[in-house]
Amino acid sequence: MSESTFGPSRTIALVAHDHKKDDLLDWARFNLERLKGHELYATGTTGTLLERELGVPVHKLKSGPLGGDQQLGALVAEERIELLFFFWDPLTAQPHDPDVKALLRLAVLWNIPFACNRASADFLVSSPLFSGEYTRRVPDHSAYTGRKLPGNAQNS
């Protein structure tokens, strides 16, 4: 394992399914002072709503069903996202459910703190680690990437 140190300013992803957008917006308004000064990323519609409601800049990706969840997953894999707040709706079928699961899997794989509901978001944002320096252990995936492949194929 290697380590990656987060400074006091974080890159934070904010995502919410349609039936959870109001909950995320309410939570973000309540935590606006804590979120200010951090670099915020969001999927399309959520990002537009957050920027309008909070008056803070948000890097807006595509809408989740149009590839935004996958874009966020790529940022996680590139170690560019340090925290993920994803208010997802467990009672509504999502057309992009595989993308949602892939994003959450990548957050676990790369040891990224994430919250999936308001209670876990409250715990995460109120932790002293939220705004202080934190050294995250980055998993070593070299055994997987360096595995022997069958035939003459090259590792990629």
Q: Which residues are catalytic?
A: 69
Residue 115 token pair: 């919250």
Distance CA 152, CA 137 (A): 34
Helices 44-54 and 21-30: crossing angle in degrees, nearest 10, is: 40
CA of residue 98 relative to chain centroid, distance: 16
Distance, first Cα to last Cα, the chain: 21
